Structures are given as structure tokens and as C-alpha cells.
Amino acid sequence: MIIAIDYGRKRCGYAAGVIFPSDVGVVPREKLLDFLKERKPEKVVFGLPFSMSGRYSCQTFEVINIAEKVFIKLKKPVFLVDERLSTKMAHSILKESKGKIAVDAISASILFENFVNSPANLYKIRENIPKVKINSISAQRVLVHNVEDPDVLESIKAEKIDVMQYDPYVAYLFKKRVEFVERFERFLEGKYDVIVTPDPERVKELLKEEGRIIRARSSAG
């Protein structure tokens, strides 16, 4: 069984089923973990709230924090799905249903269907993050770009360290150590003395004229 969760501040919508959602409803937020432990799903899907531009917000990391706790408690796969379109669709359906179904439950149903029908557009809470080793870095401005291992920060001494990470769960792990994590290169400001990245071609324009790129390679590849 799959359970999709639309996580809210007071209550959470849920949709449960195998291929199609056969049971939908809402559960108080404080009872969510007990609810999931009782239902014993094989997979759990959380709707992930990004800003309208697709960037991270405080709410993004709040939901990932809960999803990680569910992963630890249930020891079952936990996935993250962009919920922006599902929220818009849910409010449209709510108008048509004249409020007979809670918008949270509608959102959860759409998340469920998105998970089943679009398995490529998913992120996952992961138990093991590939390790990345780099030599010590000392510079004014350093960008850690799409590096999966937050431990690389221990090898960096800089006046300013920016992190850009596309994967929301890895971004969450970095957010535990730095003040801010960006999701897209286009929102980064200024140029960097050093950029640590697995993909040098994507960040050349962000490098100072005499800056250097350090290629980050994980133990997984």
C-alpha cells in the first residue's frame, strides 16, 4: 500500500491505495506518525512545498524533517513530490465539489496519482549519502555546487560559503550546517574564488577570473 500525505500546519490530508487511492481523508498533524505506524504502508509520499519559483522555503525543510522522521520510524521508502501543481488543482476540484471533500485530502489524492504516473519526478529520503573527499580549501568566497556530501564543509575555510543543491533531501542535510541553501544557479549572486562541483561546465560563468574549480567525485562514482 502507498500513502500520500499533504502535510499541513494543523492537519494532514492522506490518500491510501495500491494503484489508485481507495481511501482518502485527513488526520491531525500531531497524530500523523501514529496513523502511519498503524496503517503500515509499503511506501510513503510527501508533497513538497517549494516557492512558486521552485526555490526552497522554511516550509520545504519542515516537511523534509517530518519525512525523515517517518523514514526512521517506519523503515520504509519515503518519497518527496513537488506539490505546487497539486495544490492548485485541489482548490479547483474543491470548488466543483462545493466543499464536500477536504482540500487536504484532494491534494493527497493528486500527489498519489502523480507518484504512480510520474515516477521519474521524485526525490527520496536516503539512508546512505555518497562520501566526497576534497583537499582543504581556504578562500574568501566558496560555492559548493550540487555536491552530495555535507561533510565537505569541514574541509572549507572561507568568509562566505554558498551552497547550491538541486536535490531537496541533500539540501536539507546541508541546511543543518549552513544558513542558506539555493536550488538554482540563476539566483546566485556574485562570483566565487573557488567552486566545488561534480559538473564544472555548469558553473564556469560563476567563477572569478583567477578562481579555480575543484571537481568533486563521490565514492559512488
Residues 113 and 56 in one domain: yes
Q: Indicate whether 220 belongs to any domain.
A: no
- State the amino acid at position 85 in one-letter form: L
Q: Indicate whether 9 belongs to any domain.
A: yes
Q: 4 with 117: CB under 8 angstroms?
A: no
- State the amino acid at position 8 in one-letter form: G
pTM over 0.75: yes
26-37 burial, b if ≥16 CB within 10 A, otherwise e? bbeeeebeeebe
* Domain region containing 158: 137-215
CA distance 6 to 47: 5
**91-102 pLDDT, tens digit each:** 444 444 444 456
Q: Indicate whether 175 belongs to any domain.
A: yes
Alpha-carbon 196 to chain mean position: 21
Listed residues 67, 101, 124: the one ending a domain: 124
Listed residues 94, 124, 154: the one ending a domain: 124
pLDDT at 74: 95
pLDDT at 57: 93
Reduced to 3 states, what is the DSSP secondary structure of residue 203? coil
Residues 29 and 102 in one domain: yes
CATH number of the domain within which 81 lies? 3.30.420.140
Domain count, the chain: 2
CA distance 126 to 71: 9
Residues 111 and 162 in one domain: no
**Would you write out the chain's pLDDT as a tens digit for each of its 221 residues?**
999 999 988 899 999 999 888 889 999 999 999 999 999 999 999 999 998 889 999 999 999 999 999 999 999 999 999 886 655 454 444 444 444 456 778 888 889 988 988 777 789 999 999 999 899 999 999 999 999 999 999 999 999 999 999 999 999 999 999 999 999 999 999 999 999 999 999 999 999 999 999 998 876 55
- State the amino acid at position 108 in one-letter form: A
Residues 110 and 146 in one domain: no
Which strand (E) or helix (H) includes residue 70?
helix 58-74
Residues 163 and 64 in one domain: no
- Please give the angle made by the CA atoms of 115, 116 and 117, to the nearest 5 degrees: 95
